[in-house]
Structure 1
Amino acid sequence: MITVKDIRKEFGTLEVLKGINLEIESNQVVSIVGASGAGKTTLLQIMGSLMKPTSGDVLIEGASICGMKEAELSDFRNRQIGFVFQFHHLLPEFSALENVCIPGFIAKRSQREVEAQAKELLDLLGLSHRMSHRPQELSGGEQQRVAVARALINNPSVIFADEPSGNLDSSSKQDLHSLFFKLRDQFKHTFIIVTHDHELARMSDRTITLNDGFVINE
């Protein structure tokens, strides 16, 4: 499903990734772990098309994202990739429902179709009674579930998450982690998650450990 071919990333004279090769199958929850500075977020952003590598390639469903031009890449990203970040990045002036709909509207899908799917997702995530609320009226756990719904709205092949439970209390954290596995089972999504949470790493179908720019253990 995802092939990472000899990915290297340099920032000036600092080499952060030193030749990463991975094959990731579909319908899995995969955790990427390692100490701070190991290159986890850099790898995630390259795999998710948010950052270009210095060299190497990433294939998602057979498509080489590193060779795409920006317009083609933006369209591919919108339709095939979902993102969930530590800070939810919801737009404060919009309701939960409107925030979830935004990627669907960017993809130029019909308003009726997108809104219907957004309502279904929010209902599935236990937020049917919070659809009209703005982010500041929601708890941290609720905001992150809205972000998950937004990531799912275009039925992407893969969802990349960077420390998604990093700012949540223990109860909300457990709920979010359980949600990832529920969505994997129900919709057959693939989740690739950078995390420092040992419990989530233990629950995952696969754990990839980075150290000093190398994959050292699986």
Structure 2
Amino acid sequence: MESPLVLLVEDDDDLRTTTRLVLEARGFRVVTAADGEAGWSAYLTRPVDLAVVDVVLPKLDGLRLTERIRADGELPVLLLTARDLPRDQVVGFDAGADDYVVKPFDGDVLEARLRALLRRRGGGAPTRILDHEGLRVDVDGMTVERDGAVVDLSATEFRLLVAFLDHLGIVLSRTRLLEIVWGSASWGDPHVVDVTVQRLRAKIGADRVLTVRGAGYKMARS
């Protein structure tokens, strides 16, 4: 079952990339646009489950884009803004936004707000279950079972496990894992990947995550 598809409209290149990586690390699929008109075209081109829209955008600002989306249907819209004044929030809600997050934002908070919007939509986000070799992972519920027994993982270990399950048989470099799991390749020393892989192996089985010398790690398909 496919994970929710987010339309992310943000004109700042770095923030757009970082936010996309943060959302993908948390189980969302993401399509991006760099201005309001491109965001509107993307909305019309493919069915998305919700939109994350920056307020200040070139060509068509976020408020006008939200009004267009709201006039067309019931897609949940979350606005991103650098300002936290009550008046700004009122204007955003008047335009039809469902929620409002102030920059800089925490990735966990953004995820929680988006999943709440999906639930409010009515049936919203389907439960995403990954099964592999005795492991059963509820991605949305963030629970893991190994041969029927609950496995207690940290949030980072959980995201690492999901990354491997989403890329079965594919070698993921330390840099790529930093992007997927930690949200940025510049997050820190790639050694943190090795440490987290070792902790994950200790909990799910040392033979499940394979080391590919000089390249990275992978989880075998079977």
Query: Aligning the two structures, in what range does the TM-score lie when normalised by the shorter sequence?
Result: under 0.3
Q: Whose strand proportion is higher, 1 or 2? A: 1
TM-score normalized by the length of structure 2: 0.27
Tell which structure's C-alpha radius of gyration is larger.
2
Q: Which has the higher contact order (CA 8 A, sep 6+)?
A: 1
TM-score normalized by the length of structure 1: 0.27
